[in-house]
C-alpha cells in the first residue's frame, strides 16, 4: 500500500465535511481527497436511477484517477440508494452513511424520534428496514427538508441561515408528533450537523441530535488499522462542474487545511 494513497470522501456538496471533521479526529495524518459533486447537487430531489448512475459512474472514475485506499460515500441519499452498486464497481473498501436510527432508538426516553433527511432518503426501503430492525415499538417521524441542504451550503459560504427554514422543520415535526414529545432528532443528511446550533435553538435543550459522522469515522479507522500514512501535501478538495460552484468556500476549506479547490 502506497503510504500517500488517500481516503476518498464523496458527497453531493459540503455535507460530507461533517464526516471529514470526525475523521480528522481519529486519523489526523491520513491523506484525504474530498470530492464534492456540486454539478449534481442536490441529490435529494433526484430519482433513484439518476442518483445511482451518477454516483456509481463518478466514484468509478474518481477511484481510477486518485487510487484511494478506501472510499466513503459521505452522503445518506447516495448511500441508501447506491452503496451496493458502488461496492460492486470498486475494488477497495467502501463505507456508507446511513441514518443513525439505531443509536437514536437506544437514546430516546419518550419513544418519539424525529428524522430529517432528503426527499430521496426518507422514502428508501433501506430506511424502512432500519426502522423495523432497530426502532420497533418507537415512533419514527420522517420529514424531508431540502431547505436545510441549501441553508448548510450557504452557511459554509459565510451567508446567513434563513431562520424560516429552521422553524419550518421544527413546526412540521412538532405538528406530526401531536401530544407526544420528540426527544431525539436523527440528522439523516450529512449537511444537517452543520446547522446543529440553529436546530438546537429551535428544538430546545431537551432534544438530542444524533448523526452518523463519528460512527463512520470509527469504522474507517477500524478498516484501515495497521496501515501507515504519509501525506504528500495538504488535503485536496475536488469539485465537479465549474469552479464558480465552490466560490465562498475558501475560509471553510482553509480552516480545515485543504488546498484550494480543483476541478474533477
Which C-beta is closer to ligand DGL: that of 15 or that of 68? 15
191 marked among binding-site residues: yes
Per-residue cell: 85: 452498486
| Omega cis (within 30) before 42 | yes
Closest contact distance (angstroms) between CB of 18 and ligand DGL is 9
Residue whose CB is less far from ligand DGL, 77 or 240: 77
> Residue 238, exposed/middle/buried by CB under 10 A (0-12, 13-18, 19+)?
buried
Evaluate whether 264 touches 62 at the Cβ level (below 8 Å). yes
**Which entry of 62, 75, 151, 210 is annotated as an active-site residue?**
75
Q: Which residues bind ligand DGL (CB under 6 A)?
A: 11-13, 15, 41-44, 75-77, 118, 121, 149, 189-191
* 75 is known as an active-site residue: yes
Question: Which of 7, 187, 189, 217 does the annotation list as catalytic?
Answer: 189
Neighbours of 134 (CB within 10 A): 16
Residue 79 marked ligand-binding: no
Maximum separation of any 2 CA atoms in the chain, in Å: 57
Q: Is 183 annotated as a binding residue?
A: no
Residue 72 is among the residues annotated as catalytic for this protein: no
Cell, residue 7:
481516503
- Would you say 43 is a known binding-site residue? yes
Are 10 and 16 within 8 A, CB to CB? yes
Residue (38 or 90) nearer to ligand DGL, CB: 38
The annotation places the binding site at: 11-12, 43-44, 76-77, 190-191
Catalytic residues: 75, 189
Amino acid at each position: 500500500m502506497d503510504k500517500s494513497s488517500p481516503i476518498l470522501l464523496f458527497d453531493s456538496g459540503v455535507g460530507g465535511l461533517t464526516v471529514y471533521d470526525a475523521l480528522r479526529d481519529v486519523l489526523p495524518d491520513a491523506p484525504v481527497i474530498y470530492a464534492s459533486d456540486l454539478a449534481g447537487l442536490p441529490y435529494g430531489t433526484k430519482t433513484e436511477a439518476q442518483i445511482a448512475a451518477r454516483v456509481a459512474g463518478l466514484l468509478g472514475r474518481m477511484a481510477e484517477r486518485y487510487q484511494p485506499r478506501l472510499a466513503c460515500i459521505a452522503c445518506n441519499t447516495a448511500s441508501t440508494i447506491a452503496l451496493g452498486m458502488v461496492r460492486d464497481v470498486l475494488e477497495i473498501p467502501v463505507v456508507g452513511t446511513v441514518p443513525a436510527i439505531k443509536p437514536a432508538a437506544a437514546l430516546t426516553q419518550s419513544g418519539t424520534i424525529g428524522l430529517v433527511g432528503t426527499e430521496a432518503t426518507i422514502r428508501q426501503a433501506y430506511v424502512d428496514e432500519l426502522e423495523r430492525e432497530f426502532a420497533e415499538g418507537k415512533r419514527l417521524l420522517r420529514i424531508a427538508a431540502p431547505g436545510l441542504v441549501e441553508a448548510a451550503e450557504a452557511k459554509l459560504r459565510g451567508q446567513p441561515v434563513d431562520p424560516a427554514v429552521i422553524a419550518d422543520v421544527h413546526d412540521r415535526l412538532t405538528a406530526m408528533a401531536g401530544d407526544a414529545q420528540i426527544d431525539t432528532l436523527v440528522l439523516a443528511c450529512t449537511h444537517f450537523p452543520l446547522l446543529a446550533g440553529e436546530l438546537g435553538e429551535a428544538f430546545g435543550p431537551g432534544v438530542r441530535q444524533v448523526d452518523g459522522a463519528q460512527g463512520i469515522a470509527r469504522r474507517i479507522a477500524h478498516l484501515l488499522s495497521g496501515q501507515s500514512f504519509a501525506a504528500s501535501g495538504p488535503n485536496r478538495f475536488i469539485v465537479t462542474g465549474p469552479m464558480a460552484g465552490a466560490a465562498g468556500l475558501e475560509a471553510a476549506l482553509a480552516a480545515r487545511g485543504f488546498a484550494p479547490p480543483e476541478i474533477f
